[in-house]
Structure 1
Amino acid sequence: MAEYIDAKKMVLAMLAGARAIENNKRLWGASYCYDVFGVCGDPQEISYYEAAKTLREAAEKAIGDDTRPQGGEGQDG
């Protein structure tokens, strides 16, 4: 029988991945390349920053609200 991932655990993993990418200065300006040699078609490329934004947006849509802090840590001003 197939095992299913708990939706809450998946959302937490997506948010954790996004935060890890955003906080890792080594990944700023770096890109992830899939199928570099074009074996499965054209090579695909995405910046890690764009991937983090996409992960965060997908997680927020999955839980139906905005999970960003509403003041305090991580906010400017």
Structure 2
Amino acid sequence: MKQQVLKQFLGSKKSRQLGVILPLVQAAFALLKKKPKRALLLVGVALVSSRSTKLGTVAQVLLKVFGGRGSKA
């Protein structure tokens, strides 16, 4: 039952919209912090999310894991 609800949510229009909007907001904040490379990566995540919610989620996780390396500020 729970798996079915999760599958419905991941395939819904709202989850796709969230998957696109959230990285774009994060990109705006990255630009404000003068991190244009990170902003560009986040825009890429938003583009991937617009095509596939699952791939967008994977891209966000990878960016979170590997994007934190080397940034001490």
Tell me, yes or no, whether TM beats 0.5: no
TM-score of the two chains, using structure 2 as the length reference: 0.42
Q: Which has the higher helix share?
A: 2
TM-score normalized with structure 1 length? 0.41
More strand by share: 1
Instruction: Give the greater-gyration-radius structure (CA).
Output: 1
